[in-house]
Structure 1
Amino acid sequence: MSTQDPTDSEGTEADNNAFTSVENRSEILFLMDAQDANPNGDPLSPSNKPRQDPSTGQGIITDVRLKRYLRDQMAVECGDDQGVYIADVRTEAGNRKTRSELAETIADVDSPEDIGEGFFDDFLDTAVDVRFFGATFSFSIDENDEAQAIAKQIDNHLPAHLKGPVQISPGRTYHRVRENSGYNSLTSVISTNQNDDSGDEANEDRGNEQGGFQLDDHRIVYGLYGFSAVINEHNADDTRLRQSDVEWLDELFWKGVKNQANSRSKRGQHPRLYLRVEYDEGFHMGNLDRTLDLGENSDDVDALTSIHDVTVDISGLMETLEEAAERIQTVHILQDTRLTLEEDSNVLDQTLPDYIESELGVDVDRISLYE
């Protein structure tokens, strides 16, 4: 599949009044891993520790965290005539823009008179993330202020809530995770003395030690996370989600994690497998992430440190796809070459796209990011 520009007229007409609608239900399975990273901190825990199920020890990444990567990647790729609604955008004064101000910016509104019949559709044609994930529209209204008069008009033309067609479940690791104690605390050093002119290294070190303080830094050693998602074709009509948007999403999962997990604590995360099963209308199996497990050829869970220590058992996935084969239109797949798969304890000697195609006889689309 070639790279899909969401602003292309093929799939989205130039005037945005006509587009190719989503006809089929899709279900997504996404694997990513984290090595020496904090993929999703828990703000309610001491020092923002990585999220973890207290009962099972499994690592957790919320759907909110994953959607942040997707939105950030959308903002990079979408054209000048489109934008991301749920975003941290600042005014020239450095203040965070309100939701109504973001709506004004995205919809290119200068006065209340600009908002009338057709505004809702125009807004959806422009706010790319709302087409995928929906949104809640709640604005603070002060009729004495002209800016708020615009907000009131926007509020009158948008629903209170719009359910998104793309629903993502939180991700969990297929094993318990361990915290890397080597990162638990770091010392940040601020020099408070001028070094003398002696050129003495020991003296330089002593000067730099002054003013040091401890920083908590909690990371897991390794975690392989599985997510599932559903794209509902009926909700897609409500948000004006296009078929080209769905094809764009095939790339956003991969690029979002690869490009946007780039802060100090988030580095070390990589996409490993993206699979979208496109079914007939109104049908899907559900919870594809739960059809996978760690393979018998994996190292012990307490010894996992990287992708090279892991094999993924696809036995349950193959059984599920075989059961649904008559309802499957196409399986769209992108696989990292470093991901090792097995079925019934036997390591596969071919890629998942080739294996599904040969074993199940269904149509397989090999996603290409950089054509």
Structure 2
Amino acid sequence: MSHLDPEKRHDFVYLFDVTDGNPNGDPDAGNLPRTDPETMQGLVTDVSVKRKIRNYIDHASDEAKHKIYVRQGDVLHDKQKQAYEALDLESGEADVADVRKARSWMCQEFFDVRSFGAVMSHKELNCGQVLGPMQLTFARSIDPIAPMDMTITRSVPISEESREEKGESMFGRKAIVPYGLYRGHGFYNPTLADQTGFDGDDLELFWNALKMCWELDRSASRGMMGLRGLFVFSHDNKLGNAPAHTLFDRITAHTESDAPRSFSDYAVAVDDANLPDGVTLSVLI
């Protein structure tokens, strides 16, 4: 299966949707769903999607080499300290050779470092910087979304003082997108994988994580989210046989509805005819 070959370039498109939930809140806008103010299309950051992938791999894999560096609740400084202790390096002003050793150790130890890269150049425990072979873009909704900011009520006070001050009921806010179908793009560059040690096991784990991570991210605030399509264009060499954007244009999603409310309102078309020489398409979902 060509999409599992870590020695070849892969460009991919993924589609996911949300129903009655907030796929990615914007802290600069009261945690409302992120939107492009010019087009009112919804946005989901690459960081948000990678958080889901990291969480899934943290729970799904027992292998030592699949530990997560950017792990919720952990302190990054402590992870870099592990590298210095394992390699018996002195903290402080490390020389270039020591930084390279520490960077290599971090790549071997942590899946997300050798996949997505990381900035680990803290001067006391300098592990350098890594540009990972797996990169994601922001995801953008196919059509404009209509975020709703709703009032919610809690009928039980948190304390007697709160009851006396505010009464039995308290009010809060909850933001949702009634429905949105989002499209994201990703790129796998094997020339960078050679530098980080990203291998075939990692690539297979990534595809599985991208498919299944939504299942571990369920919450009332997320509503109903799920992956609706994953299309991988694989090249027969490291540098690629065609520009990514020309391949991405072969995947389209269109609706005739003025107010789509489910994935069934969309028609997804895949043009796999006359692909450039050396390019194959794998439809994983």
Query: TM class, shorter-chain normalised?
Result: 0.7 to 0.9
2:10 to 23, 26, 29: 26
2:64 to 60, 69, 81: 81
Residue aligned with 1:262, SS = coil
Percent identical among aligned pairs is: 22
1:326 to 270, 274, 277: 277
Residue aligning to 1:16: none
Residue aligning to 1:147: none
CA displacement at 1:233 relative to structure 2: 0.9
CA displacement at 1:80 relative to structure 2: 5.0
What RMSD, in angstroms, separates the aligned Cα atoms of the two structures? 2.9
CA displacement at 1:299 relative to structure 2: 4.5
Residue aligning to 1:71: 54
More strand by share: 2
CA contact (8 A) 2:133 2:188 kept: yes
Q: Note the residue ranges of structure 2 that are not aligned, 5 or more in a row.
A: 92-97
Q: Which amino acid aligns with 1:126?
A: E
CA displacement at 1:250 relative to structure 2: 1.3
CA displacement at 1:56 relative to structure 2: 1.0
Residue aligning to 2:134: 166
Residue aligning to 2:94: none
1:189 equivalent in alignment to 2:173: no
1:310 to 266, 278, 282: 266
TM-score scaled by length of structure 2: 0.83
Distance in 1 of aligned mates of 2:258 and 2:134: 32
Residue aligning to 1:100: 77
Q: Which amino acid aligns with 2:179?
A: Y
Aligned residue runs from structure 1 range 3-18, under 5 A: none
Q: Note the residue ranges of structure 1 that are not aligned, 5 or more in a row.
A: 5-20, 91-96, 142-150, 195-206, 336-371
CA contact (8 A) 1:169 1:227 kept: yes
1:35 equivalent in alignment to 2:19: yes
1:286 equivalent in alignment to 2:254: no
Residue aligned with 2:214, SS = helix
Higher relative contact order (CA 8 A, sep 6+): 2
CA displacement at 1:306 relative to structure 2: 1.5
1:128 equivalent in alignment to 2:111: yes
CA 35–108 in structure 1, closer or farther in 2 if over 3 Å, else same: farther
Q: Which amino acid aligns with 2:205?
A: W
CA contact (8 A) 2:42 2:140 kept: yes
TM-score scaled by length of structure 1: 0.65
Residue aligning to 2:196: 239
Aligned residue runs from structure 1 range 318-357, under 5 A: 318=271, 321-328=272-279, 330-335=280-285
CA 121–334 in structure 1, closer or farther in 2 if over 3 Å, else same: same
CA 234–193 in structure 1, closer or farther in 2 if over 3 Å, else same: closer
